[in-house]
Every structure is written in C-alpha cells, then in structure tokens.
Structure 1
Amino acid sequence: MKKLLPALLAAGLAFAPAAFAQDGKGPNENSASEQAAAGQDPAAEEAEEGHAETPHYPLKEPEELDWSFAGPFGHWDLAQLQRGLKVYKEVCSACHGMKLVAFRNLEALGYSEEQVKAFAAEYTVQDGPNGDGEMFDRPGIPSDYFPSPFPNPQAAAAANNGAAPPDFSLLAKARAAERGFPTFLFDLLTQYQQGGPDYIHALITGYGQEPSPAVEKSIQPGTYYNPYFMSAPALAMPPPISDGQVEYADGAPQTVDQYSRDVAAFMMWAAEPHLVERKATGFVTMIFLIVFAGLLYVVKGRVWAGTPH
C-alpha cells in the first residue's frame, strides 16, 4: 500500500500535462473559445468594465482660425479688443477675474485717460487698512487691477459646483491643445502661437453636441459635455453666453461665434499686451543680423585677400 500510493501520484502527474495540452489549447484559450461560441466578445466585455484604452483629450482638435495678430507681421484689431472687453465685463467677469491686468493698461485699446477713469470707477475695490485698522471699499482708479468676483478660491469653488473658475490674465497663453508631428515643425516657420485663442473659441462654441454612448457613460452628473475641453469629456461650466446677450454698437454680429472670437482675442492681449512690439523688434533684429552677416563675409574676404591659401 505504501508503494501503491506514490505510484498513483506519479501517474497522475504524468498524464496531467497531456490533458492540459490537448488540442494545443490552455485553460484560458478554451474559456475564450467557449465565450466566442456562446456569442460573447471578451474584448467588448473588457471595454465595458472600464479596461479599454484611455481616451485622449480634447476629443476634438480646435479649428485654426485667422487672427489679426497671427504671423510675424500681426497686429491688434482694436475694435475687436474693445468688443472682447465688453463681453468680458458683461458676461465673464461674473466668475473670472484678471488680477494681473490694471485698468490703466486699457489705454492701449484706444481709450482715453478719462474713459479709463470712468471704467475703473464702475468697479469696487477693497483698500486699507484705514486709520482705525479696518479695510474699506472704494471705487476703482486706473492704477488698480481687475478685482476677482470672489474673496478667495474656496468661495469661488463653492459657488461654481466645486470648480473654481480660472483667472483670465494668462489663460490664453496657458491653454493650448498639443500639436503633434509634423505640425509643430511648420509652426517654427509660420510663428503659430494662436493655440490658446483657438482653444478658447472652440470651447465656448463647443457646447450642445451629442456625446457618443461610450463617452456619455463617463460624464459626471452636473457637468456639461464639450468635446474641446482638454481635461475631460465634460466640465462644470455651463454654456457661458448665447446669441444676442451682448449688444455691439459697431454693428458686429451678435452671435456666440463672434463673442467667442472677440473675447479670445481680448484674452490674448491680456496675456501678452506687448506681442506686436515684440514681433516688430524681432523683425528688425533679423534684418540686422542678415546685414551684419553679409558685412562680416565681405570684411573677411578683404582681410584675407592677400594671404596665400
């Protein structure tokens, strides 16, 4: 009996690999073939369980628009910037601040000093402390900066579904969808740097589209689907503006598309107000370097002309 038991165990171990390798299939392969025979797709089930490939955002790439400030010879369209300021003041400023932009900077948009003073006085700015050590509110002056609509980020988040609205000061430079190969190589020649305004325009006009069933499952309650949002399929901000909401005195179209173009251009100016001057300086510098290189070549020829080679 003592010899029979080890013999049975050895026989079982010997036949186990043969049974496992029958028809050249392992246990996982047999399971997969059985699921396929039963009409089940393992890959589909895996996707439904959340193991599918991670999506890349934004789901749609922003459209490249024509901007007056684009290219090496770009310039500001002052009428557009003034309309963008109006859109910001009447719509966007309810949630977004511009803490790095001073009222006096608005003179660059074609406003006089008196107009800037009147514009700044429409805002209430906290100042102090006074002689009693207390803070107080007063009308704004040109040296003040655009105030935030909320006292702190926590209050901003509490009033906006848990997401604090970002400051507009540098948003046009900070928000831009990535441009892959070989597009970014051509950007070196065209001086493309309008990714931020393109993205802002696409985001504002991207509401109201229907998500696919796969994307709809990942949209959280209380958020709004927007395929141009660069961080998720939906965001906490509802559609910020609608047709006819802001009245233009210059006869420009009062549509969401026009509003988004104007406020995106204004935000680009706020992020880089010296953009036009920088481009002009760069152009003059390039001309100087080309002429200087030619002069160096001529001088080198004259200096070494009498030297035998």
Structure 2
Amino acid sequence: MPAGKYQLLVVDSSSANRQLIGECLSQLDDASVSLAADGQSAVELIASIRPDLILIDMNLRDTDGISLVRRIRNREQLSTESDLNLWTPVIFLSSVMDEDMLAQGIIAGGDDFLHKPVSEIILLAKVRAMLRIVGMQRDIHAAHRRLKQIATLDGLTCIPNRRYFDDTLTTEWKRCQRAGAPLSLLLIDIDYFKQFNDAYGHQAGDQCLKAVASALNESLFRVEDSVARYGGEEFAAILPGTAAAGALAVAERMRASTSELRIPHKHGVDSFVSCSIGVASTHPVAEQTAEQLLQAADHSLYEAKHAGRNRIVLHPECRG
C-alpha cells in the first residue's frame, strides 16, 4: 500500500453489502479499503490499521452499530498516543429510516448517515467530504508535533531543553519506580566557561556550547538515555535503568569526549575546554522524589568543581 493513503473500514454483516460498498470505495485512488463482518473483527482491524474513516451498519451480527461507535469513542478518549484527542469519522449505514435511531447514533459519536441501498454517487461524495476533513486533521496533528518538538529543543545546541528534561525526569522517575529499576542522573558543567566567554567572545562561546552538546549527545549509546541543556553552560543526562557503575561509564565517555574536542581555553584545565560531572543514582521509591536525586547530582557536581574540575564525582550515598 502506498504511503499516505487513507484507510477506510466498512463494517457490515452482509457479505453482499460489504463487497458492493468496498468495490465502490475502491474507485478512490487515494484510499485503501478493509472489510469487517462483525463488531469484534472491526475492533481488531481498528487496532491494526487505524482507519481514517469507518462506515458501520446499524445492525451487526454480534452487536449494534451504536454500541460499536461508543467503544470506538471510548478507545479514542483513553488513547495516550497524542496530546490531541484522536477522532475517526463514522458514517452509519441503515436500511431503516428512523429519526430516533439516527439521533441516538449521532449522540453516541457518529458523524453522518446513509440509507441503504446506498447510492454510489452520494456514497463517494460523502466519503470525499469526510476525507477532506481527515486531511485537515492530519495537517493539524503534523503542525502540533512540529510545535511540540520546537518547544522542547534548545534553540542554540539543538538538543532537548530544560522543559524536556523536567518532563522526562518526572516520567522516568515514575516508570522506574513501577518497574523497580535504577535511575541515574548526570549534571555536567563546562569548566571556567565565563572566562572562556570573556577571553574569546560570546560567538565563540556559542560555538563551544554547540560542540560540547554534540559530544555529550554522541556519548549516549541507548535510545532511552537523553541529554539536555540544563541552563547556561550546564547540561543534564537522564539514564533510566542504569545503576551507578553504568552511569560512571557514561560520565567518563562524556568527560573524555569533551576533552578530545581540544578547544583552546587559556584559562581552562591544561589550556583546553573540559567539563566536570556530578553523578547520582538510586532506585526510585515512593518515599523519595526526583528532586532529591537532582540535588544529589548537583552536590556531586559541586564537589567535582571544588576538587579541581575536569573530573567526575559520584554522590557518596550511591557508592558501594
């Protein structure tokens, strides 16, 4: 199936009706049609193909169309796949013209109604109209995803920003708590960065930040790990499922990668740009908070800077 095609689902207990409607809809070059004979088959297909439009007969073999639409709308409301509520347009099909039933169907979440036997011209016209709305919804979702990405990226370094870090730390804390898994946190500070800016200018400082951010990001080997710009010349890395020993290994890669950039810094350690890293690790429990882990990493970073910089310090409570 070519990418970008609309997915249509026809749910009708009559084999003849399914085939007739399916053949009619197959005239649409930008759509692919699937068929279901009952409500359960429809639910399974909805989960697998995620249709853009559903046509449902009011009377099915194992349920009625109104009940099926209620299941579909409940599933959409419970979905966590997007910040925007999902909405799949539904057209009811019925051989009986009943105003009360039509009203109940619309209240349940239906969007339109077609009387059977269905006119091919009216069917194609209504489906095309619905698909125009679906196309606009796709555009809105794509724009929303782009805006969300922009909102969580640091404009200078193009890695995640503080907002992303805060949200991800909260999420990973809860997830690791449920799983009984360790969670480690690194706070990274570019050594003597103010002096670097004073000596070489803010433009050079921006280039330094971008280079260090890239080196830190490339030091992460797992997709679940992330590094963000925490603020100014500080960065932070979240390592879910990683205990202290693994966190120290990641921290050493980051420290070494920064040193290997060999960015001249006359006020820096050994006359090059370097970084200091504070490490904290724990198994999240209800009695603790993510803020405490962050404070532990910050304390370790302070110790690393106090001890001479260009080094890594693990929080004392994480040792052993």
**Bucket of the pairwise TM-score, normalised by the shorter protein:** under 0.3
Q: Which has the larger radius of gyration?
A: 1
What TM-score comes out, normalization by structure 2 length? 0.22
What TM-score comes out, normalization by structure 1 length? 0.22
Higher relative contact order (CA 8 A, sep 6+): 1
